[in-house]
Structure 1
């Protein structure tokens, strides 16, 4: 029997118009390969999504449903239990993998296995579906690629990433361009009584869990996936009904961290950084006593709340959401008994903080004087000659870039020193 190398999981809930593109983004590059599976799991959609995927006839596509309607985290949990591949990645139903995903992943995994590394991930590239104009104006694609590959440590990246107010997006997860070896998932489940996700934010918890294990990973500056944003995406205020479902679907065994009030409804609309802190508090079964104590300390609460204040200045939201978030933030500061003076003083200082500032400045100087190649960008916009028909058309552009500049370039790994 053919060994399955890749499990690409596509969780679906009411995204019938987008999921065909997510599936096609894998199948169109796979050719006659049989070492992968595409798991399309429908979480009881009402728009015909399940009927569409159920009738899919490709032998590498496995359409399924969990036994009952799930929260996002419990759905992801169930999907992981169905995966048979050695390396596992979750792709959103309005996302897609890059057209060279399998080729580049093969090369990165070869490097990872030679060094005992169990996670690889790529920089983010974005595709904004039509209908997102309120949030993203006329931007359709945002893609930047560079032949740079760095070995990093998730534990040592977590706090600097948090302080930069980038959220968990820059961290290795299972979603969003990360490939995680199944042994990592098995280890986390074994240490948490058979459960992987212990937060309402599955992506935030995956980042916290991987950091808690202290896993090293290879970060590719060539993106592996498209991160899609559509009118049906969760977050960003684009679709409040979808965001509401995060909390209102049937409850499972996941409990909000008691240190933050024990109720997820109290944490909505505050900031993305919240979904690094709450999962880290809930990842205590993966941590030693010193790490557990740190994330429950006044130093940690001051640091996180200051980052949230910084983030809220950086990303203003729709007025109603912003005011609700402000009120919930004030209540959270009161509940955690953290000094407002300390929070706002640190928040002011964090405005001057830039992660890896000197390294970035040095590389920019080298590019300016011509000693280092500039990253390659692919941009397109709606209502302009650059507009593409859909995500697969944009993928043709990124494939041309990859084949011209990266496909045969040797992968030389750097190691980040801390």
Structure 2
């Protein structure tokens, strides 16, 4: 039987062992999930046939609180990716000081090939498989790639039906009408925008002097483009899964988002076309990967010309690429801080569900901004203290917090 260990997590830890002394039992604690679920489950199709799907749920360290993390529906979902993302969720929650461990789940499926009815059956069946292992004080799922507030609503409803109790806090990212939180739909993008604003301010770089390329025009990419363009930044390139567009003078983001919403893609828009590969290699001030993971690899890292990378996607840079970018003096604002706005507002939703009292949008925005700025200041101190790059500084910060919680519990 394969060992339940996160291979990529070991690579991250090996990198920071030159800065902090990690004992072998601590490495084991940090690289071995608390629980790994892999299962096959049947789902009825509209044509009367039954199809078997493979699902996963990985729960990483829970020393700081119940585990928390999204569920993705994607044809390329795999266990090692899910393990790595669960590990990064544990670090992310520690970095922004919210009381959760890490988790991640997924199903190997192309949701675009399912009808709405089939998608609902799949979502409910997935929850039935993991029902015994989740709960408001145990493991709280949320949306991720190709999962929506509607899917979260079905999942919450299925959990409550089995539990025969009201439990809105079991899932976050729900629609507002089902006790979701205001701003959850743009939280990842807004949190990332706050981080970039603080970073640029520290470097005395003005928005109008900063060119930005964004890979991805989905929820994260589209919203961060809208926010940053409203703040005066020049968005010169953006892409979807098929292709990208580029205008060195700056794109009209309102027009681009409207076109994408109407047509479903960027094909035919009156702008210069670029591939996703070309977009990543544009000579811009800031590159924002906001699509899938593993986009910047050892094969293209040397071709990255951006001076700053804001990782709005989960794991867009491989560990090997990270080493190359570091050598080339490309400053990377890592995903565990850059896209933490999503889990912060998920935490707010969970808190609001617990007390059955809901905040207005301005209050959510104010609380999110405060947490993101405080996390940025804390990691900057860590960066200066250890004289290392941003990713290593954040990993050290998070791991020290997790190990402190483990030791206080008497595990070591």
Q: Give the alignment's TM-score, normalised by structure 2.
A: 0.27
Q: Give the alignment's TM-score, normalised by structure 1.
A: 0.27
Bigger relative contact order, structure 1 or 2, given CA contacts below 8 A and separation 6+?
1
